[in-house]
A and B are shown apart, each in its own frame.
Chain A
């Protein structure tokens, strides 16, 4: 297979590869390909970094206290706010 065609062929599998969901045979194929193809290695590395950046910033999200209070009030649950 022409190298560029092989990259295209593997592109759709990179997400599942990141999640460890691929059969071993396909993992081996991707890992072998990445040894020879810097572009695909960069794509898989930056794909992983992309996901981890979103996860890091999302973990910081909290419900602000005023939002929480308005929610409990709207639901007529004020008496349970401080339990």
Chain B
């Protein structure tokens, strides 16, 4: 059986029988994507490491429940997403439930920052300050939007795969992605727009 996303082939039977070498291959292959997801969701290396460890511990314990109908990566993303959202809720219990449609989903945000900042020198975008602004803007997104943005635009999952991981409709994925992107653009425009104005 092969996994769609990265073409790694593995034996589901061996995994279920507790073949540790086979599981180690899965860990090696999929660690980067899980670590990146944790880092982008929590914006903290220690939290990302915790999510990485918990994801693979849960995967190992529940390997018998994995029926192979979805890809291994989708299954791991699902576990990691739940871990990340739980971690966020523990840190900020006031966080709005992921399943509740928020105002950000129902209300499109009109662009307020209209300044063309596509023409800056490349080094300006990814300066230390620029990188910090990128992280801060993503951190300000509500979790329900951030996770969709991370899965679609950072991890490169399709709309269908993202819907499958999050157990929401494809339409909800598209709506949340649109809201997330527009909010990030708005936020970044404040910073990069000022750089353009400074000349």
Mark A residues whose CB is within 8 Å of B: 8, 11-12, 14-16, 18, 21, 39, 42-43, 45-47, 49-51, 53-58, 61-64, 67-68, 70-72, 74-77, 80, 83
CB distance from B51 to the nearest CB of A (A): 11
* Bound CA span A68–B49, Å: 9
CB distance from A20 to the nearest CB of B (A): 12
CB distance from B128 to the nearest CB of A (A): 12
List 27 A-B residue pairs with CB atoms under 8 Å apart, sorted by A's residue number: A11-B108, A11-B111, A11-B182, A12-B108, A12-B178, A15-B182, A39-B114, A42-B115, A43-B114, A43-B185, A46-B185, A46-B189, A47-B182, A49-B118, A50-B185, A51-B153, A57-B126, A57-B131, A58-B36, A67-B45, A71-B56, A75-B53, A75-B56, A75-B60, A77-B24, A80-B24, A83-B24
Q: How many residues in B have their beta carbons less than 8 Å from beta carbons of A?
A: 47
For residue A45, which residue of chain B has the nearest CB? B118
Taking a contact as CB atoms under 8 Å apart, the answer to whether B53 and A57 are in contact is no
For residue A46, which residue of chain B has the nearest CB? B185
The interface stretch among B27-35, B62-70, B87-95 is: B27-35
The verdict on A14 contacting B178 (CB below 8 Å), with A53-B134, A54-B184, A71-B27 known, is yes
The verdict on A11 contacting B110 (CB below 8 Å), with A54-B154, A57-B126, A63-B31 known, is yes
Taking a contact as CB atoms under 8 Å apart, the answer to whether B116 and A45 are in contact is yes
Q: Is B140 in contact with chain A by the CB < 8 A criterion?
A: no
CB 8 Å contact bits of B96-131 with A (1 = contact, 0 = none)? 000000000000101100111110000001100011
Contact residue among B40, B56, B111 (Cβ-Cβ distance under 8 Å from A39):
B111
CB neighbours of B108 from chain A (8 A): 8, 11-12
Taking a contact as CB atoms under 8 Å apart, the answer to whether B181 and A43 are in contact is no
Tell me if B's interface is mostly helix, strand, loop or mixed.
helix
CB neighbours of B188 from chain A (8 A): 46, 50, 53
Taking a contact as CB atoms under 8 Å apart, the answer to whether A67 and B178 are in contact is no
Taking a contact as CB atoms under 8 Å apart, the answer to whether A75 and B57 are in contact is yes
* Bound CA span A35–B11, Å: 54
14 more A-B residue pairs beyond the given contacts A11-B108, A50-B184, A74-B53, with a C-beta to C-beta distance below 8 A: A21-B174, A39-B114, A49-B118, A50-B181, A50-B188, A57-B126, A61-B32, A62-B32, A63-B31, A64-B45, A67-B35, A71-B52, A75-B60, A76-B20
* Bound CA span A51–B181, Å: 7
* Bound CA span A70–B46, Å: 12
For chain B, residues 43 to 79, give those with C-beta under 8 angstroms from any C-beta of chain A.
Answer: 45, 49, 52-53, 56-57, 60
The verdict on A42 contacting B56 (CB below 8 Å), with A50-B184, A63-B35, A77-B24 known, is no
CB neighbours of B153 from chain A (8 A): 51, 54-55
